[in-house]
């Protein structure tokens, strides 16, 4: 047993290692626009606030004007559509973790700042056989994380109190989202950011490998 009725996950850097495909797509756009590309590890700090912010952060500072950001953002989504699954895969142990949560009878959901269509596409294609009651990416009319609106919408739709939700993620945005919604923040160290960032922004627990999650979840009911 566990005190949590719902486990809600971030996607990129939490369930899926998508860094190479995101970086490759954005670097293609930068190259087309005549701008310098970035090394793949640098994208760990560009990702997390949605595709538009990704475009803004990767453009040279003098180019960060609304029309240039819009152009880069739109082109990124076109390029990413064609290469989103070249190298993206679930992290080792994720499929077993999700199966273990299901075996405990705990419901699961996904809430990402990735555009909604890509979020659904990634989940349906790369997390086969796992049941998520809700899968939401960034949508018009819903503020992106760390605004709690998306997570609170999931709570309402599933009839779960926010305090009965564990929100699992790898960035400060995810920890802030959980705190802002009144959910429990679970920080994972296999993703894009480090322990110091997660602790500083409210992580209630830190996990080093997906294999640790089930035992932690069981311990929360004792």
Over residues 6-28, mean pLDDT: 98
- The pTM of this model reads 0.95
Residue 129 pLDDT more than 90? no
pLDDT in tens, 63-85: 999 999 999 999 999 999 999 99
pLDDT at 131: 81
Q: Are 11 and 112 in contact (CB under 8 A)?
A: yes
Q: Given CA atoms 89, 4, 153, 150 in this order, what sign does their dihedral have?
A: negative
74-124 pLDDT, tens digit per residue, is: 999 999 999 999 999 999 999 999 999 999 999 999 999 999 999 999 999
Q: Round to whole Å and give the CA distance between 151 and 10.
A: 11
Pairwise pLDDT comparison (6 vs 221), residue with the higher score:
6
Mean pLDDT of 144-170: 98
pLDDT tier for residue 190 given thresholds of 50, 70 and 90: very high
Q: What is the reported pLDDT for 187?
A: 98
């Amino acid at each position: 047993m566990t005190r949590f009725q719902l486990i809600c996950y971030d996607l990129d850097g939490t369930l899926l290692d998508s860094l190479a495909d995101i970086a490759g797509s954005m670097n293609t756009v930068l190259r087309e626009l005549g701008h310098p590309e970035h090394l793949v590890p640098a994208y760990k700090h560009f990702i997390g606030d949605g595709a538009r912010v990704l475009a803004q952060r990767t453009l040279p500072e003098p180019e960060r004007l609304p029309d240039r950001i819009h152009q880069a953002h739109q082109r990124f989504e076109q390029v990413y559509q064609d290469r989103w699954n070249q190298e993206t895969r679930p992290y080792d142990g994720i499929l077993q973790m999700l199966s273990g949560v299901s075996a405990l009878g705990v419901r699961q959901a996904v809430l990402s700042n990735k555009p909604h269509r890509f979020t659904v596409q990634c989940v349906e294609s790369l997390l086969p056989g796992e049941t998520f009651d809700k899968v939401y990416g960034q949508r018009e009319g819903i503020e992106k994380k760390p605004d709690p609106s998306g997570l609170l919408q999931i709570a309402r739709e599933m009839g779960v109190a926010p305090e009965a939700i564990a929100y699992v993620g790898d960035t400060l945005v995810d920890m802030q989202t959980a705190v802002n919604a009144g959910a429990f923040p679970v920080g994972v160290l296999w993703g894009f950011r480090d322990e110091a960032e997660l602790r500083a922004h409210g992580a209630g627990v830190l996990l080093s490998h997906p294999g640790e999650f089930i035992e932690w979840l069981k311990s929360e009911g004792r």
